[in-house]
Structure 1
Amino acid sequence: MDDRKKMPKTLYGMKPNEILGALGLEKTFQGKQVYKWLVRGVSNFEEMTDLPKPLRFRLGEAMPRLASSEVVDEQTDSSGATKLAIQLIDGAVVECVLLTDREDRKTACLSSQVGCAMGCTFCRTGTMGLVRNLQAFEIIEQFVHLRRIAPDTTHIVFMGMGEPMANFAEVIQALNYLH
């Protein structure tokens, strides 16, 4: 039987007990270990060095990618800001940006929606209309993708695509996970 069919599309956003069940782990502490690594932003099970090697191998075979989304474009401008285009599991694309200030503090600028219903004339996203709200795990995965570029990212703002207050519950859930 193929273990991949049983695996979730992503583990980001899950609590330790949910991870335990989703991965079929037998020991409660292993759900906590995986959770700890996910919050740190690892991209595969092999990086989870406190899990037994045979378990890492089995999980990695069944779920080669931990994120459901992938970076499809990366651009860095003259100011040093790096913009990522992230393709979501349904094919929609959102943007997130890594900003660095004069003190070298890294800030993740995240999207909360695909498109936006606000219609602000100064914003290109406002002309797209609202396609849908992002789920918490899709917001979390943006941060994870940015942390691969800059592991020392310490701040988050929601100035990407969408109006965060129009997707309040998912934004708060993502922030609680990342906190």
Structure 2
Amino acid sequence: MAEQPTLWRIRKPQRAIPRGDKPNLRGMSREELGEFLGRELSAPAYRVDQVFGWIHQRRAPDFDAMTNLSKADRAKLRERASLDTLEVDTIQRARDGTRKLRLRTADGEAIESVLIPNDERGLTQCISSQVGCALDCRFCATASLGFRRNLDTWEIVDQVARARTLLAEEAEREGARWTPRITNIVYMGMGEPLHNFNQVRRSLSILTDAGGEAIAGRRITVSTSGLVPAIERFAREGLGEEVGLAISLNATTDAVRDEVMPINRKWKIDELLAAVRRVPTSRRRRVTFEYVLLGGVNDSDADAHRLIELVREFRCHVNVIPFNPHEHAPYRRPSQSRVRAFMAILRRSGVDVWLRTPRGDDIQAACGQLALDDPKTAAPPS
């Protein structure tokens, strides 16, 4: 009798998103904020621009800071709404300038966010969408945490605000002439973003709002391990025309992907690519395929040739990521010569391919390493 495939299910959260007695205005889109202010304060339409700007551009710590609102309106807002923020727990700095922020939620959960220096001026921030993760990708340290809960919209957005506040404070303390800018956002931290679709979608509307964080949609990328129904929704709702989509592929056969990424037991590679075909692309917007190279697992010449055949039809680029070792996974990073050989095959075929060099791996901040580990006790990079 043929061996039956192992059953696999997406993990359920251990708890729901906590809802306080008062709504947190940091998690409201401009439209939602306008409805709230109109209902609670009978505020005129222009008031939403003022409050939205105080929250996301000036990063007001409390309602008293909103000095162009009347005292009566500020008192009503204190009574009926919240401006809670995440707490910055620890900040770790890597040799290459990468910084990892450990942040605490109001209910005591910990998440991590990473600031990565760009080759040009500015920084890319890698943000989290869940506490832990609902999936079981075997190369990813976050899977070891289980799935605590989804992040609320304000908890996603506030990761950017806390990082920008930190950068401004550092610049002022050091007497710098300018504050480093966060120019790019990637939803590639802890969690599967498309598994928390509603909160992620709302956070995108806030982060891209010209009156808020004002980050261009073309500079934001949402990553997914292959949650096919959510990718189809991403395409159907037009998000592919607003922000980038990155597919964490990491294997060229179903047998290997079943093992490395158990989500493949539910949606095979063919089903995944069929969903990706429905995501609109343009000259300025391409799908990204991410491919973590695991030594002796998916890094052969044959894998490189199969990868070419899988992605050839798409307007895409491929990010090749040598595995970043950690104690939660049984894999190893391929040798530099193997990485070069793999890359050379892709380049000769005309595939638009980039090598993602490890950033922040000495503080467990590199791709796949976020697990709330103490960097002093974590496995060293090889």
> What is the TM-score normalised by the length of structure 2?
0.40
- Answer yes or no: is 1:155 the counterpart of 2:172: no
* Bigger radius of gyration: 2
- Answer yes or no: is 1:40 the counterpart of 2:57: yes
Q: Is the 8 A contact 2:86 2:162 kept in 1?
A: no
- Answer yes or no: is 1:13 the counterpart of 2:24: no
Shift of 1:106: 1.3
**Whole-angstrom CA distance in 2 between matches of 1:71 and 1:117:** 24
Q: Report the equivalent of 1:170.
A: 199
Alignment of 1:74-93 (within 5 A): 74-93=91-110
Pick from 101, 118, 134: which aligns with 1:101? Answer: 118
Task: Tell me the SS of whatever aligns to 1:150.
Answer: helix
- Answer yes or no: is 1:142 the counterpart of 2:171: no
Give the RMSD, CA atoms, in angstroms. Answer: 2.9
**Whole-angstrom CA distance in 2 between matches of 1:42 and 1:100:** 23
Q: 1:41 to 1:90 in 2, by over 3 A?
A: farther
> What is the TM-score normalised by the length of structure 1?
0.79
Gaps of 5+ in 2: 1-20, 169-180, 209-382
- Answer yes or no: is 1:133 the counterpart of 2:150: yes
Q: Which runs of 4+ in 1 moved over 3 A?
A: 21-28, 45-49, 52-63
Shift of 1:22: 7.9
Shift of 1:62: 6.2
Gaps of 5+ in 1: 1-6
Q: 1:91 to 1:48 in 2, by over 3 A?
A: same
Q: 1:41 to 1:154 in 2, by over 3 A?
A: farther
- Which stretch shows the higher mean deviation, 143-152 or 98-107? 143-152
**Whole-angstrom CA distance in 1 between matches of 2:41 and 2:91:** 35
**Whole-angstrom CA distance in 1 between matches of 2:130 and 2:111:** 8
Pick from 117, 120, 128: which aligns with 2:137? Answer: 120
Cα deviation digits, residues 55-75 of structure 1 (max 9, x gap): 697579769x82342111112
Task: Tell me the SS of whatever aligns to 2:27.
Answer: coil
Q: 1:99 to 1:76 in 2, by over 3 A?
A: same
Q: Is the 8 A contact 1:74 1:85 kept in 2?
A: yes
Shift of 1:121: 2.5
**Whole-angstrom CA distance in 2 between matches of 1:41 and 1:99:** 23
Q: Return the letter of the residue paired with 2:132.
A: G
Shift of 1:125: 0.9
Shift of 1:140: 0.7
Relative contact order, higher structure (CA 8 A, sep 6+):
1
Q: 1:73 to 1:33 in 2, by over 3 A?
A: same
Pick from 73, 77, 92: which aligns with 2:90? Answer: 73
Q: 1:25 to 1:148 in 2, by over 3 A?
A: farther
**Whole-angstrom CA distance in 2 between matches of 1:46 and 1:103:** 38
